[in-house]
Amino acid sequence: MSYPFEGITVIDLSQIYNGPYATYLMALGGATVIKIEPPGGEPLRRRGVVGGAALPFAMLNGCKASIVLDLKTEAGKDALKGLVRKADVLVENFAPGVMDRLGVGYDTLRQINPNLIYAASSGYGSDGPYRNYPAMDLTIQAMGGVMHITGFPDRPPVKAGPAMADFFACHPDIRVDMIIDDNLTDIVAERIDAGIRFGDIVEKDMIAVRIGPDIRMAVVGAPSYFADHPVPRTPRELSGHRCINYRRVRSGWVYAWDFEDKGRPFQVRVEGPLAFNNGDLIREAALAGHGIAYVYDDEVAADVSAGRLTRILEKWCPTFPGYYLYHPSRRQTPPALAALIAALHYRR
């Protein structure tokens, strides 16, 4: 069987996601792709060393040959020019002007190989007012407004955890529809591709992939509340306090607060005048002194540090295994879902 790019040699100087994905597709199409990295490896490889991105790097750079060249040295530049003489395509995604400053820009390489196809990509193009702006996932999320709708309403913008801009740039044909629901939806019966839950409540017949860190819970109250009420010393003493509950809308179910004592889990059902189905409203009610709240620790860390809230019962508060994306094990995984799982996969 013949491949569309068979006999084509590609020099790949690109890094991170933009570029490596294009050259990976060319490699799958039969091209001979030679991946060139600086000493120490390209940024995505280096992230993998500290637990960041080993899997994406391996996926985007499969089916390629790999060599190290230091283009800041004459020997490295001469080696690149030697490869270019026999190549058909060169791909790079450095900031505009970098290749020229290194002495191996388009004009130089075309003199060596007039038939060379030189493909350069940058976030904002080779000219215009944003020409020199970096275009990493973080900055694209900021420029595109994604960070405006994440995080907390009274705090600075927060980057979305997954590399969303990179993902949709690599997969422009994939559409992701998200349904936020606090009920335990049966994704098989509803014909939903995947769901997200805490790891300890995912059904055993599902394939589960961790997409976030462990989550610690916290019990908090405002100093104004504790000025008029004694601080409970054990979870059982919460029965005498005004507690702010979480209630599911559809079922009316009220969440029982989880605790643990020397590794043994137990629950306490609390009473109070307020119940919400929104964590932000629970936090706001606690800040206003309306009672004691049971919340995610990271959501109130800034309030605790600033003295607006006080943690209590810390030694009883459990840590849960965080969020997992899960999907049916008896159903073939669609390619689009597999790509999304790879992008969301949590790396410690």
Q: Calculate ∠ Cα 91-96-98, nearest 5°.
A: 80
Could you give phi then psi for residue 120, rounded to 5 degrees? -120, 135
Give the helix/strand (H/E) hosting 291: none
Q: Identify any residues that bridge with 325 across adjacent strands, giving them in sequence order.
A: 196, 209
Return d(Cα 318, Cα 300) in angstroms, integer. 16
Give the helix/strand (H/E) hosting 119: strand 117-120
Could you give phi then psi for residue 324, rounded to 5 degrees? -125, 140
Give the CB-side neighbour count of residue 143, counting CA atoms within 13 A: 12
Q: Pick the catalytic residue: 154, 166, 280, 298?
A: 166
Q: Is 246 helix (H, G, I), strand (E, B) or coil?
A: strand
96: DSSP letter: T
Q: Calculate ∠ Cα 142-162-34, nearest 5°.
A: 100
User: What is the side-by-side order of every strand in the sheet holding 9-12?
Assistant: 65-68, 32-37, 9-12, 89-92, 117-120
Alpha-carbon separation of residue 165 from 66, 74, 140 (angstroms): 27, 36, 6
Give the helix/strand (H/E) hosting 324: strand 323-328
Spatial CB neighbours of 63, under 8 Å, sequence gap ≥ 6: 24, 27, 28, 33
The radius of gyration of the chain's CA atoms, rounded to the nearest angstrom, is: 26
Asked if 169 contacts 122 with a C-beta cutoff of 8 angstroms, the reply is no
**Token representation of residue 204:** 């055993």
Q: Is 166 a catalytic site residue?
A: yes
The residues assigned a catalytic role are 166
